Structures are given as C-alpha cells and as structure tokens.
Amino acid sequence: MADEEESELSVEQKIEIAKWFLLNSPPGEIQYVAKDVKAILKDDYVYETAASEAFSIYNKSHLLCLPMPNNSGDVLITAFNEIDANDYLDPITAQVAKVDHVKQVCTEVRRANDEELPFPYVEEYRCAVDAEVSKYVGEAYPKGVCSVFCTSGKDVEEPGSDFELVVVISAARHSPQNFCNGSWRSVWNIELKEDLQIVEIKGRLQVGAHYFEEGNVQLDAKHECKDSTIIQAADDCAISLTNIIRHHETEYLTSLQASYSNLPDTTFKDLRRKLPVTRTLFPWHNTVQFSLTRDLAEELGIGKQTNQ
C-alpha cells in the first residue's frame, strides 16, 4: 500500500521548487507568480526562504530598474554594481541605494564612499561612455535605461594599465492589462588593454516576451557577439564603442524580425501535420488571414457548437 501514496516533500525540496517557479517568471511577472506560489504553499517559512533567495537573483538577471526615494534618479540592479546583498551603486549620482528585493523597492540612499568609486582617469572614460550610450538608448528604446560600471581597475590613475567597464542596457514594456509583457536586456563587457592599444567588447543580448491572452506563448532569445576598436581619447573611444553597440543591437533586432516573420513557413508549419485527421490541408499560403484566438480556432473546428 506504500506505493499508493506518494511521500511528502521535504522542506528543502519545497523551497527549491518554489524558487524554480519564481526564477522562471516571465519579465515583470514575478510578483504575480509569487502570490500564487505563496497561496499554494500555505507555509510562510518555505515561501519567505524561497523568495529571499529567488528575488535577488531574478532582479539582477532581469536588470531591474528602481527609482531612488529622493527622486534623484534610478538605479539598475545588477551583479556589476552590487556592493553587498542589498546595496547597489549608482555611478551617475555617486549614491548607493539600499534595496528590498522581495518588494522590489529602494528603501534609502547614501553617498558613495571614495573607495566605491573609480579614480578620475577611469571615471573620465566611464562618464564619456555613459553619455554616448545614454543618447543612443534614448533614441532606440522608448522606455530604456542604461548605466556604465567599472568592474576592474577602478584604481588606475593614468595611461598604461588595463581596466574594464560594463555597459548595461535594460528596456521593459509591461502591459498585463493587454496580456503582454516583454523586456530587452544587453550587457557589454569592455576591456581596455593598454599594452595592445586595443579595446575589446563582448555583448550578451537577451529578449524576453510573454503573451497570455487565451493562451501562453513565451519568447526567450539570446545572442552573443564581440568586436574591437583602438584605444583613443575618452570622448572618441566612447563614440566608437557606442557605434559598435548600435550596429550589433540593430543587426540582432533585424535578424529577429526576419526570423519571426518566416515562422508560418518554418517552425509553425512543422508543428502541424501536413494532412491532419480532418483530411483537410491547412492553407499555409495564406496564414495572415487567421488570428490566434478566433479565426484559427474556427478553421480547425475548435470550440464550435453543434446544433442538436
């Protein structure tokens, strides 16, 4: 009779399962998922343990942008500006924001200490790149935000030593009332190698989207690329790097648009029998005439009422 009844999950197993659901929440929807997870668990300890671990990881991986309480600007939550588990540096205002990860709010801010900020030589490059990338993001992303962080060599005082910058771009479009949420995230690692007089740049781009009107369709696309340019004065280097970022991001978006415009003739077509059980060929030559929720259902005979 033991086989007829499954064994109870341990607390650790419940925590891991809860974390999995939270971490796999679509862009902008972790609070909705958390509410359901908490209701299902009916155990505050398990939920709070899972949430305390998952929200921090989720916020950083989704490059969450939060307004600071003194209205001085926004801070991006990333692994690159994390001072400790709850404190995040905003290099633009030279402030450190304390974050409540589960509530997804900034609770307070303080001035950054000198040791938390780059030296003037590195800061000159960081500011120049930040200014150029901000102009690009303002043009390319209606709700985009960006920031530039120094991740290595922030104590470099003059030419001759290497240092690294990271450009983070985050854009989100949350419209749950229209059953659609989406995000763009790109991270550009920039290495200035003085001995080679070269700047190497590596990008990681990610697009996420969730459409859930009478269905559940998710997109999670990733892309990596790399490029390089020569070391120049800060302003000239910033312009070159921004042009590289603009080129690769535009190229990737163009390729995504081309790929998904061909879905009816490729991926979607492979998901359905060529000759279904109805013995009627699906009109792939004219798929534009169908909507996901009405016309397609009508063509396939789904949800039709029969007269008795």
DSSP states along 162-231:
-EEEEEEEEEEEEEGGGTEEEEEEEEEEEEEETTTTEEEEEEEEEEEEEE-SSS-EEEEEEEEEEEEEE-
Q: Which residues contact 39 (CB under 8 A, 6 or more apart)?
A: none
Q: What is the pLDDT of residue 218?
A: 85
The answer to whether the CB of 55 falls within 8 A of the CB of 25 is no
pLDDT in tens, 218-246: 888 999 999 999 999 999 999 999 999 99
Task: Please identify, among 74, 95, 113, the residue that sits at the C-terminal boundary of a domain.
Answer: 113
Question: Does residue 297 or residue 62 have the better pLDDT?
Answer: 62
pLDDT in tens, 17-31: 999 999 999 999 999
Asked if residue 197 and residue 129 are part of one domain, the reply reads yes
The answer to whether the CB of 54 falls within 8 A of the CB of 23 is yes
Q: What is the pLDDT of residue 160?
A: 87
Residue 189 pLDDT grade (very low, low, confident, very high; cuts 50, 70, 90) = very high
- Closest by alpha carbon to 125, among 167, 95, 79? 167
Residue 1 pLDDT grade (very low, low, confident, very high; cuts 50, 70, 90) = very low
The answer as to whether 285 is a domain residue is no
Supply the CATH number for residue 17's domain: 3.30.1140.60
Average pLDDT, integer, range 199-203? 97
Q: For residue 230, what are the β-bridge partners?
A: 198
pLDDT in tens, 246-255: 999 999 999 8
Q: What is the pLDDT of residue 307?
A: 46
Q: What is the pLDDT of residue 285?
A: 58
Quote the CA–CA distance of 143 and 47 in Å, as a whole number.
Answer: 32
Asked if residue 130 and residue 250 are part of one domain, the reply reads yes
Q: Considering the chain, what is the average pLDDT of its residues?
A: 87
Domains: count for the chain: 3
Question: Does residue 142 or residue 46 have the better pLDDT?
Answer: 46
Phi, psi of 139 (to 5 degrees): -85, -35
Q: Report the greatest alpha carbon distance in the chain.
A: 86
Q: What is the dihedral of CA 247, 147, 163, 110, to 10 degrees?
A: 180
The answer to whether the CB of 234 falls within 8 A of the CB of 171 is no
Q: Give the percent of the chain with pLDDT over 70.
A: 82
Q: What is the pLDDT of residue 149?
A: 98
Q: Count the neighbouring beta carbons within 10 Å of the beta carbon of residue 233.
A: 10
Residue 283 pLDDT grade (very low, low, confident, very high; cuts 50, 70, 90) = low
Question: Does residue 231 or residue 1 have the better pLDDT?
Answer: 231
- Cβ-in-10-Å burial (0-12, 13-18, 19+) of 288 comes to exposed
Question: Does residue 264 or residue 99 have the better pLDDT?
Answer: 99
Asked if residue 248 and residue 125 are part of one domain, the reply reads yes
Q: Give the percent of the chain with pLDDT over 90.
A: 66
pLDDT in tens, 121-154: 999 999 999 999 999 999 999 889 999 999 999 9
Quote the CA–CA distance of 262 and 251 in Å, as a whole number.
Answer: 17
Lowest mean pLDDT segment, chosen from 128-142, 160-174, 256-270 = 256-270
The answer as to whether 1 is a domain residue is no
Asked if residue 108 and residue 122 are part of one domain, the reply reads no
Residue 191 pLDDT grade (very low, low, confident, very high; cuts 50, 70, 90) = very high
> For residue 223, what are the domain limits?
118-259
Supply the CATH number for residue 151's domain: 3.90.1150.210
Q: Dig out the tokens for 8 from the structure.
A: 């109870």
Q: What is the dihedral of CA 186, 187, 188, 191, to 10 degrees?
A: 180
Asked if residue 165 and residue 80 are part of one domain, the reply reads no
